Amino acid sequence: MKTAEKLLQKVENGTIISPKGFFAGGIHAGLRFSKKDVGVIVSEKPASCAAVYTQNHFQAAPLKVTQESIEKSNKLQAVVVNSANANACTGEQGLQDAYEMRYLVAKRLNMEENLIAVASTGVIGEFLKMDKIKYGIEHVQFTSTYEGAAQFQEAILTTDTFQKSSCYEIEIEGKKVLIGGAAKGSGMIHPNMATMLAFVTTDANIPSPLLQKALKEVTDKTFNQITVDGDTSTNDMVLVLANGEAGHQPLTEEHPDWGLFKEGLKEVCEDLAKQIARDGEGATKLVEVNVNGAKSKEAANVIAKQIVGSSLVKTAIYGTDVNWGRIICAVGYSQADINPAHVEIFIGPYLMFKEGVPQPFSEEEAKNYLENETVTITVNLKDGTENGKAWGCDLTYDYVKINASYRT
């Protein structure tokens, strides 16, 4: 009998084009000084699709065009992304530019425009340099190699310091199924329905409505549980394409492997979410908060995200200051229903607070723990059975430096 571990495995060096039938590439078109800035993902055939978007009222033009494509066809076959310019708050001209990006890709690939999704990221309020966009789309090369994936991953970055990717293998009806992803995000990260930009591909066979349901559930547990600076971007989007090339029967909620598919999708999204949190602008540490024993899943998630989003908690972690009082404060103002007399606070393995009373611990050992690149905070509420997680980063001097001169 096969174990769950053998049915769900991380693929080392797996990428966005590891699933069958996907290609990717990126090119330097001149939107940025030297790095690649236009990227494209292509599926051999139209794929089922799902997407979640920012809830910022100022949604960028590319999101509107992508939503229109999905609503009209319920399928996607290609995604075009540019960095350096968000094409947000650019009015009718910005909308027409996004439509032109979609048209140029459709023309290059000889496919219907409604099968193309568009995404942009970068500075808000500036018009796209469409001559450079056109050059990039006309000259970018797509491959199914690791190099093609790396080119795409570079093309979508802004202030990111490293490329973000993940891939997991699952088994459905005895057939190998891959789920791969790529993302960008470093600052302006406080998702509400999505994160900065994340793209996931899979060769699983699943209809679009069910894929949408799975993505919404997974997003709430992963991308919606990260924060860097409390800002929700105008361009946030998570997009999933499933082309069915693995060859199994269509997934349904009654299918015995439905839960396994959702778990694989969650693992990819959680990997990407944590990489985004770790790469917060100027960050030196990934912070994970676990909240256990809550009355509801919602309460656990709210408290976890409140802690990881607290500027005082973030700066204490940066300064290796074992100031657990800041954690207690964040729990208290979260507005979740808790009993303060039950609460326990741990920083790493060190118990700081229990049942309303400070606990003895080694200041030196706890401070040394905060030097680690990953810091875990655990809150035990002892009020129920629900748990939640959130991820973020420390807050450093470099965050201010980066954002004070973002446009220059």
* Domains of the chain and CATH, by start: 9-276 (3.60.70.12), 286-404 (3.10.20.340)
CA distances from 87 to 45, 151, 154, 298, 347 (A): 28, 22, 19, 34, 42
Render pLDDT for 312-346 as a digit per residue (tens, 0 to 9).
Answer: 999 999 999 999 999 999 998 888 889 999 999 99
Residues of the chain with pLDDT > 90, as a percent, come to 76
Query: What tens digit of pLDDT does each residue of 229-246 get?
Result: 444 556 789 999 999 999
Pairing status of strand 344-347 against strand 197-202: unpaired
What local confidence, expressed as pLDDT, does residue 193 receive?
31
What is the pLDDT averaged over residues 360-372? 97
Reported confidence tier of residue 1, pLDDT bands at 50, 70, 90: very low
**What digits encode the pLDDT tens for the residues 98-136?**
999 999 999 999 999 999 999 999 888 999 999 999 999
pLDDT tens-digit readout, 292-321: 999 999 999 999 999 998 989 999 999 999
pLDDT at 4 over 90: no
| Structure confidence at residue 248 (pLDDT) | 97
Most confident of the ranges 306-320, 375-389, 390-404: 375-389
- pLDDT of the residue at 188: 45
Amino acid 279: pLDDT: 77
Catalytic residues: 195
What's the pLDDT score for residue 150? 97
Amino acid, single-letter form, for residue 350: Y
User: 58 pLDDT exceeds 80?
Assistant: no
Average pLDDT over residues 90-95: 96
Query: Is 115:153 a contact under the CB 8 Å cutoff?
Result: no
How do residues 182-237 score in pLDDT, each as one tens digit?
A: 999 764 444 443 336 999 999 999 999 999 999 999 998 998 888 754 445 567 89
Q: What is the DSSP string of 353-405?
A: EETTEE----HHHHHHHTTSSEEEEEEE--SSSEEEEEEEE---HHHHHHHHT
What is the per-residue pLDDT across 243-288, written as a single tens digit (0 to 9) for each?
999 999 999 999 999 999 999 999 999 999 989 888 766 678 999 9
Looking at every residue in the chain, the average pLDDT score rounds to 91
Residue 376 pLDDT greater than 60, yes or no: yes
Per-residue pLDDT tens digits for 127-186: 999 999 999 999 999 999 999 999 999 999 987 888 999 999 999 999 999 999 999 976
pLDDT (0 to 100) of residue 195: 39
Q: What does the pLDDT read at residue 126?
A: 92
**Which positions ≥6 away from 38 have C-beta within 8 Å?**
26, 27, 29, 31, 80, 81, 82, 83, 133, 136, 137, 140, 155
186 DSSP 8-state letter: S
> How would residue 403 be classed by pLDDT, with cut points 50, 70 and 90?
low
